[in-house]
Amino acid sequence: MNEEIPIWRFKYLPKRLKDIVGRKDIIDRLLKIIQEGNFPHLLFVGTEGVGKSTIARLFSREFLGEFHDANFKFVFADLPLTAEERAQARTVSYVSTSRIGSIAGKTLTMPAFIQIKVKPFVELKALGDIPFKILVVKNFEALENNQQGFRRLMEIYGSNCRMILITTKISGVIDPILSRCQLFLVPQVSLEDFRDFILEVANKENLEINEEIIEILHRLSRGNLSHALDYLQLASLEGTMIDSNVLFETYKNYQNTIPKELLMTALKGDFKKARDVSREIISKYKITIRELLVQLLTEVHKLPLSRTAKFELINMIAETDFKAIDGQDDDIHLSALLSIICAFSETL
C-alpha cells in the first residue's frame, strides 16, 4: 500500500489479480490461464465501473511478466482520432503507383481507428520470451460496423497478438467476434465481499463504521468500490465516526456538483467538453437522461440570468425531455441539447 497517495480509490487499487475484491471464479480462471501460458481472444462483459479494465490490465501484466511494457497496449474504441491521426490514416491507406500489383495507386478502405490504433501493434511479433502480445480494447461496441474489419485482424494476426475486448453491451458485439472469444461475465461485487473490503479500509484508516452504514454505502454506490471509497473518504473529513446523515449529505453534494459543471461548460460554449462530461455522468453514475434533465433544470433556476434567458433554457430542457420519452438514443438527445445551449451562450 502506497501511503503517499492521498486518494483512497488509488491507494486501495489492487496491484495483483489476487487483490481483486470478490469475483473468485473469474480470478481463478484467469490465474489458470496464466499458469497454462496460452488463451484465445477474450471478451469481458459487465456494467460500467465493475472492474473489467482493472482485471484486464492486471491479468495482462501477470501473463506478460517482465515483457509487459513492450507487448501490451490499451485503447478506447470510442475515443475520436485526432486530426493528425486522421491525416495519417489517409496517407497510410494510399498505395503508391510505384508498387507492383492490382492495388497500386488505390486507396484501401480499412477503418481509420483499426489502421492507426490497432494494425501497427498487432502485425508485429512479440518481443521477448512470450507467445504473443496482448491488446485490450475498451468500449468495443462503439466500433459498430467496423467490427467486421476488426474480425479480419483477429484472424490474420491472432498468432502475434491476443485481444481482450471489453464491453457493457454484449448485444453490441457481432456474432462472428463472439464466436472467436472466450466469454467472461464480470458481476458486481457481492454485498458480503463489499462489506469485508469496506471494513478492511475502515480499520486501516481508523474509522468507526457499523453494518447500517455499510449497507447505505453499498446502496449509494451501487456496489461500485471506487465510488464507495470516494464517499467514505469525503465523509471521513467530518470525523472518524461515519454518520448516516454525513454520508447522505456527502453523496448529495458529490452528485450535484457534476450537473452544475455540465451546464456551466455548455454555457461557456465548449461543446466537446460538455459532451464528454454528459457521457461520464450517464455511464459512471448510472442515472437516466430524464434524471439528469431534472438536475439541470434545478441548476438553471440558480443561475444569475434574466428571466427571458432562463425561460429559453427551461424550454430547451423541456423539449429534450419530451423527445427522450421515445427511449431511442439518449446520447443523441443530450448532445443536441448541449449543442443548442452552446449556441445560445453566444447570445448572452
Task: Say if CB 160 and CB 154 are below 8 A apart.
Answer: no
% of the chain with per-residue pLDDT over 70:
85
Alpha carbons 214 and 260: distance in angstroms, whole number: 28
pLDDT at position 88 is: 64
Out of 3.20.20.70, 3.50.50.60, 2.60.120.200, 3.40.50.300, select the CATH number for domain 23-185. 3.40.50.300
Task: Say if CB 105 and CB 97 are below 8 A apart.
Answer: yes
Statement: 191-255 belongs to CATH 1.10.8.60: yes
Task: Say if CB 142 and CB 173 are below 8 A apart.
Answer: no
**Exposed, middle or buried by CB within 10 Å (0-12, 13-18, 19+), for 30?**
buried
Model-level pTM?
0.67
Tell which wins on pLDDT, 238 or 176. 176
User: For residue 100, what is the DSSP state?
Assistant: -
What are the pLDDT digits (tens) for 220-237? 888 888 888 888 887 887
What are the pLDDT digits (tens) for 84-115? 766 665 655 544 445 444 444 444 456 777 87
CATH 3.40.50.300 boundaries in the chain = 23-185
Statement: 262-345 belongs to CATH 1.20.272.10: yes
What are the pLDDT digits (tens) for 276-325? 888 877 765 556 787 788 888 888 888 888 888 888 899 899 888 877 76
What are the pLDDT digits (tens) for 38-80? 999 999 999 888 889 999 999 999 999 999 999 999 988 877 6
Q: State yes or no: pLDDT of 33 exceeds 50.
A: yes
Determine the average pLDDT of the residues in 241-250.
Answer: 78
The DSSP line for 118-174 is IHHHHTSPPPSSSS-EEEEEETGGGGGGGHHHHHHHHHHSTTTEEEEEEES-GGGS-
Tell which wins on pLDDT, 14 or 219. 14
Give the chain's radius of gyration (CA, Å): 24
Collapsing DSSP to helix, strand or coil, 76 comes out as strand
